[in-house]
Amino acid sequence: MAACLRRDKSLTYGPTESYREPTKNSIRFLALGDFGGKTDFPFTPPIQNAVAAQTAKLAKQNPIDFVLTLGDNFYEHGVESVDDPRFTETYGRVFHQKSLEVDWYIVGGNHDYRGNISAQIAYTKVSKRWKYPDFFYKLKYTIPGSDMVLEIIMIDTVILCGKTDDATDMILLGPASIVEAKKQWKWIRKNIEKSTADYLIVAGHYPVISVSSHGPTKTLVDILDPLLHANNVTAYFSGHDHNLQHLQSRQQQSKVDYFVSGAADKMDPSMEHKGDVPSGALKFFAGKTIPLGGFGHVEVYKENMTFTFSDSYGKALYQHVMFPRHVRK
């Protein structure tokens, strides 16, 4: 899949707003999850509107190539059909700015599965930018000015781990179909193990590890995490917990970065599972301190990949740099 690359400028946050000369040597994209809006009027909460406005502003100043979504696209119960007005009310009319008219790559979250998840996939044929070709799929981009490759493996964690119970939204009920879960695990293992990409990202809705309300996802910790480490995967992106987190774990010679970006609609300051992640894993957390939410922004050069968390006021909160898999230590 070829990337449609655009002019590239440095991040411009805060009061100074200094710029580099435009270049064309990177891939740039947003990473945001849990942007699902409301089921009744006025449909869009303040956080969602603020995130939409700021992502559009950033993308106008620093054009992006695509948006990577991380599930819970429609609160509280997904959509009913491709004609559901929610596609317009809490997506189209919110993220309407011209700078956001790029491909949006979608994965399903637990709230999406409370409705008709197949309708979200079918909406790919209705919308020019909504890209949801299947429950799980892979993206591949060549970094401009090089032969280096970025691969993103989009997985369906609800198929793997089950839906959450409606009462508390906490307990995972287990896979609805063991057969479908095993089918996806086989596909995930194959695509991770055979990848020769210089940067390899896996993205899904449930986090592998998290310090917030939902905490670590046991199935992903038991099965996915060893795969990430064994194959030197660059990073895992997720949503589900409504805050911004960067965690990092090391196992012998491997290191994996985990980014939780679930702050595009609601905020949760909880750190109740801080004791359930590896000691020293938490590198950054923002919950209560960003009342109008936030999102991730990624820039991939041949030399490095930078992940930046920013809030809806345009302030860069945190930045982490990662290196190609063949030079990582």
- What does the pLDDT look like over 20-40, one tens digit per residue? 333 578 999 999 999 999 998
9 within a domain of the structure (yes/no): no
Q: What is the DSSP letter of 23?
A: B
22 within a domain of the structure (yes/no): no
- What Å distances lie between residue 190 and 55, 138, 168, CA to CA? 34, 12, 35
49 within a domain of the structure (yes/no): yes
Annotated binding residue at 297? Answer: no
Residue ranges with strand state E in 169-274: 199-203, 235-238, 244-251, 254-261
pLDDT of residue 213: 97
pLDDT of residue 328: 65
81 within a domain of the structure (yes/no): yes
Q: How many domains does the chain have?
A: 1
- Domain of 222? 27-322
Three-state DSSP class for residue 141? strand
Annotated binding residue at 169? Answer: no
Task: Kindly give, in sequence order, each residue whose CB lies less than 8 Å from that of residue 88, ignoring residues fewer than 6 positions away.
Answer: none
Read off the CATH number of the domain in which 55 is found.
Answer: 3.60.21.10
Q: Which two tokens stand for residue 86?
A: 């929610």
pLDDT at 169 over 90: no
Task: Kindly give, in sequence order, each residue whose CB lies less than 8 Å from that of residue 132, ignoring residues fewer than 6 positions away.
Answer: 105, 106, 107, 120, 121, 123, 124
pLDDT at 271 over 90: yes
63 within a domain of the structure (yes/no): yes
pLDDT of residue 329: 53
CA pair distance 90, 42, nearest whole angstrom:
9
Annotated binding residue at 72? Answer: yes
Annotated binding residue at 137? Answer: no
8 within a domain of the structure (yes/no): no
Average pLDDT over residues 185-205: 98
pLDDT of residue 168: 85
pLDDT digits (tens, 9 = 90+) for 98-154: 999 999 999 999 999 999 999 999 999 999 999 999 999 999 999 999 999 999 999
Annotated binding residue at 205? Answer: yes
Per cent of the chain over pLDDT 90 is 86
Residue ranges with strand state E in the chain: 27-32, 66-69, 103-105, 130-131, 137-142, 149-154, 199-203, 235-238, 244-251, 254-261, 282-286, 294-300, 305-311, 316-322
* Mean of all residue pLDDT scores within the chain: 91
304 within a domain of the structure (yes/no): yes
Residue ranges with strand state E in 125-212: 130-131, 137-142, 149-154, 199-203
